Structure 1
């Protein structure tokens, strides 16, 4: 089927530059690893304990998972029609009726900033949990923000080196990561189910908690939905890897859907295990890392440390997959001349057939976002908060444009007559969740508790707009075609 893949790419106007080494499982693995239920739930669980408590953690997970499935299905249909590394920005340019360059430009930059923020946030979280493990192992150790930044920088360096010199190994690691997540989840769940002498009663699932500082319980519950939304980001990774995927028109959308479905089911089991293992709600919600404190209280320090290693491993796998996906987006965006120094960033290593320079740009940009954490955790949070909002808005643009296009031509994987209704539900959910991400999350609102996501998003959009009108609109018209199918076929590097 390699010929069909190449013919599809040539029809979109691109020569083949990347090696197709990803099969169906590999494509699924990249998104499953980036969604990363262990990393997402352990990072956001404490927030959910105060914004709705068990009722929202459990039933919010179920509800939001269903909404994310609509987003994934709508994205999958588009991915089947346009299986290219450009993914969201490419399809936005192709689906727009007018102003294709502008739609493509904004989508690409939202996607780029969101992905860089994802890489930075994941590795910063990993560094934080590594510090927590060291403190558990050696109580006299006192972590500092500077040490967290140093550890996160070291992680970035290793991930960049892996994407540069051991590309085949990265593909293998992504396969391993799936089993690490699934087996790790089972180990954590079994430990929390079997070892504690007692659990919360079944009715605890309906327990509601509001410690956000806002009096309105409904508002707190809506904020609690963000726990699941924070976790379900990055499944566009399958889309970005489509030029390296065999039978991409089918395996890419299947990869997106499988990643969401398996994450939803496995995540629900993990969420239930953590909720029912809660011992002292007040003490655990007030801990520096509430889910870690739950493990310690329920299982003892020794077992908790072992399980924390599983969590840290999951976060490291997530960061690596994030960087790989980020790199492909940079490669494709540069191929169409949308980034400064585009000629550099879309060049491909003759040895590995991967965009090595784009790897180091992804690492450098993530480092720029991590560095403010050196002097202010709030500053870091402000910058990477645009991660989720940027990604979901980038998801929403091509789905919205597909809704407007009456003569959309679907690929082999499609939703038939349900395509438009599914896309409409996806757009409504993306708008709603994006608004939630930008609302105040804690009261009273102070400099440290303020939600900087709208400011960060505004800065990104302002820069993109000034750049667009000053220069880009004259040279960037959206995805470019390198010639007819026969002409680009002659340019294939492999």
Structure 2
């Protein structure tokens, strides 16, 4: 081992990077960030009404359990690769590292772009969901005399984006979330978000159970009632459509991989954070869904509410004051998620533009002279997010489309490294966390599931299909990918060569991803403390 370098630093050097970020994060702190980025409140709150009409309670509850199992399959493959390649480049780096040499640039390029599109849509989805919660709270506060119009909702949405942009431009030092991302302030903020989500959700659950203890919904309703208000006659198809709420909630756990260069014992800490966040989200999310569904007092009133349906559940169960207080807990939690998401996604734009993967790369990767943060990237991100929200002015299903684009794009990104690994497994030496002989079959299951939901979530959610209920996910996704393909053919393939190394290894290039060399592997003495490379940790 090179003098002065610990194990984490040596592994990073072998991947072509020098240790620039401070390794002050423990596995628990990484888990805090990952869990709060997934954010149960931002995932389950705005889409609960959609789930009520696409399958109803039985699909909400058992769909959550099923999606948890399938998500764990995807996450196990991601955790395995993360253990072998613990770098903040994450998925973008992994596709270059694992794929065959001649495919490295194109796979890395498209993985980065899929991830960017997913994160753009994710930023829009979280902020738009927050707008829906805010206007619903205002409506409750006015006793329903003010009914939010699409224009008012979009106006609040754009206001949220502007506020997030201002915070990321002028308050990065105060928030400790950008150029001091590894500082104690950022760590404390991540832990605060974790506790806000956990305590807030527990308050909501307890409040609902106490206030509806004399009039809960029946177990038969919660566990067996199927509802189809979509217009589609095929109930099996409707059940599948109802999985969107659950699958959308299980996104963002790749954030743990992006923090591995700042996490101690990253080969274990990264995978632990990914899987731990999913399991915690699964348990707490199921409890939240059960409490809300048992608290439904009048199903028809809920699905026909002038606000978002979950707000009507709170109003019926808790009364006006209780509903407003609960909605405020949700607003703060979702805003935490929106602001943190914009901050980290701007860093993704910065990283991709640094490597020449984006148009206007020379401008997008510039840092603000005072804060040393990518302010231009922040506003570019928020500008695109604002555009994604405009279709809501003409279509009430626009929010579903945004969440669909987010889910599909991110899961394609999660699946590409796994797909590459299926073809290059013979040259892959795993890290301490690995699935051993179960790795291949798990990878096949993960890729099949990602392929399935990528088709499912671009399909229309209502029938007959017209301009007002069309699922515009396919249009948004298709348009963006035409632009990406044109950029790749016209310029990207000439200027983009994959992740840029900033250091030459002082040891053998065990982890190099140079484009003219075979797929990299880790020396078994470094990647596996027990040395056999086949145990499941």
Cα separation, 2, equivalents of 1:375 and 1:453: 14
Q: How big is the shift at 1:56?
A: 0.7
The answer on whether the counterparts of 1:83 and 1:248 sit within 8 Å (CA) in structure 2 is: yes
- Report the counterpart of residue 96 of structure 2 in structure 1: 93
For residues 360-380 of structure 1, the C-alpha deviation after alignment (integer angstroms, 9 at most, x for no partner) is 433333234335556765566
Sort the Cα spacing of 1:65 and 1:422 in 2 relative to 1 into closer, same or farther, 3 A.
same
Range moving further from structure 2, 141-150 or 196-205:
141-150
Q: 2:217 aligned to 200, 205, 211, which one?
A: 200
Query: What secondary structure sits across from 1:234 in the alignment?
Result: coil
Q: 2:436 aligned to 416, 425, 434, which one?
A: 416
- Report the counterpart of residue 187 of structure 1 in structure 2: 203
Task: Please tell me whether residue 227 in structure 1 is matched to residue 232 in structure 2.
Answer: no
- Report the counterpart of residue 161 of structure 2 in structure 1: 156
Task: Please tell me whether residue 8 in structure 1 is matched to residue 20 in structure 2.
Answer: no
Range moving further from structure 2, 257-266 or 412-421:
412-421
- Report the counterpart of residue 277 of structure 2 in structure 1: 259
- Report the counterpart of residue 400 of structure 1 in structure 2: 419
Sort the Cα spacing of 1:122 and 1:460 in 2 relative to 1 into closer, same or farther, 3 A.
same
**Structure with the larger helix share:** 1
Cα separation, 2, equivalents of 1:56 and 1:81: 37
Cα separation, 1, equivalents of 2:203 and 2:401: 34
Query: What secondary structure sits across from 1:88 in the alignment?
Result: helix
Cα separation, 1, equivalents of 2:40 and 2:251: 10
Cα separation, 2, equivalents of 1:319 and 1:2: 37
- Report the counterpart of residue 466 of structure 2 in structure 1: 446
- Report the counterpart of residue 108 of structure 1 in structure 2: 112
Q: 1:133 aligned to 108, 131, 137, which one?
A: 137
Structure-1-length-normalised TM-score: 0.92
Two-structure CA RMSD over aligned residues (Å): 2.4
For residues 107-163 of structure 1, the C-alpha deviation after alignment (integer angstroms, 9 at most, x for no partner) is 111110110111111111112211111222234445344443343333334434444
Cα separation, 2, equivalents of 1:285 and 1:65: 25
Query: What secondary structure sits across from 1:438 in the alignment?
Result: coil
Q: How big is the shift at 1:347?
A: 5.2
Q: How big is the shift at 1:167?
A: 4.5
Q: How does 1:332-347 map to 2 (within 5 A)?
A: 332-346=351-365
- Report the counterpart of residue 175 of structure 1 in structure 2: 191
Q: How big is the shift at 1:285?
A: 1.3
Structure-2-length-normalised TM-score: 0.85
Sort the Cα spacing of 1:377 and 1:208 in 2 relative to 1 into closer, same or farther, 3 A.
closer
Q: How does 1:261-410 map to 2 (within 5 A)?
A: 261-287=279-305, 288-346=307-365, 355-371=374-390, 373=392, 382=401, 385-406=404-425, 407-410=427-430
Sort the Cα spacing of 1:331 and 1:471 in 2 relative to 1 into closer, same or farther, 3 A.
same
Q: 1:42 aligned to 37, 45, 48, which one?
A: 45
Sort the Cα spacing of 1:341 and 1:80 in 2 relative to 1 into closer, same or farther, 3 A.
farther
Range moving further from structure 2, 443-452 or 350-359:
350-359
Cα separation, 2, equivalents of 1:379 and 1:54: 23
* Aligned positions, number: 487
Q: How does 1:8-87 map to 2 (within 5 A)?
A: 8-87=11-90
- Report the counterpart of residue 521 of structure 2 in structure 1: none
Sort the Cα spacing of 1:170 and 1:240 in 2 relative to 1 into closer, same or farther, 3 A.
same
For residues 178-215 of structure 1, the C-alpha deviation after alignment (integer angstroms, 9 at most, x for no partner) is 11111111111111111112112222211111111111
Q: How big is the shift at 1:49?
A: 0.9
- Report the counterpart of residue 148 of structure 2 in structure 1: 143
> Unmatched 5+ residue regions in structure 1?
488-494
- Report the counterpart of residue 490 of structure 1 in structure 2: none
Range moving further from structure 2, 404-413 or 42-51:
404-413
Q: 2:497 aligned to 468, 471, 477, which one?
A: 477
> Unmatched 5+ residue regions in structure 2?
177-184, 508-537
Cα separation, 1, equivalents of 2:199 and 2:47: 21
For residues 291-347 of structure 1, the C-alpha deviation after alignment (integer angstroms, 9 at most, x for no partner) is 111111122111111111111122111112212331332233223221234345445
The answer on whether the counterparts of 1:17 and 1:348 sit within 8 Å (CA) in structure 2 is: no
Cα separation, 1, equivalents of 2:260 and 2:363: 22
Sort the Cα spacing of 1:483 and 1:39 in 2 relative to 1 into closer, same or farther, 3 A.
closer
Cα separation, 1, equivalents of 2:462 and 2:484: 30
The answer on whether the counterparts of 2:395 and 2:469 sit within 8 Å (CA) in structure 1 is: no
- Report the counterpart of residue 123 of structure 2 in structure 1: 119
Cα separation, 1, equivalents of 2:393 and 2:472: 18
Q: How big is the shift at 1:13?
A: 1.4
Query: What secondary structure sits across from 1:393 in the alignment?
Result: helix
Range moving further from structure 2, 150-159 or 30-39:
150-159
- Report the counterpart of residue 492 of structure 1 in structure 2: none
The answer on whether the counterparts of 1:70 and 1:425 sit within 8 Å (CA) in structure 2 is: yes
Q: 2:173 aligned to 165, 184, 199, which one?
A: 165
Cα separation, 2, equivalents of 1:171 and 1:364: 28
Cα separation, 2, equivalents of 1:409 and 1:351: 43
For residues 430-460 of structure 1, the C-alpha deviation after alignment (integer angstroms, 9 at most, x for no partner) is 1111111011211111101111112222212
Query: What secondary structure sits across from 1:62 in the alignment?
Result: helix
Range moving further from structure 2, 404-413 or 274-283:
404-413
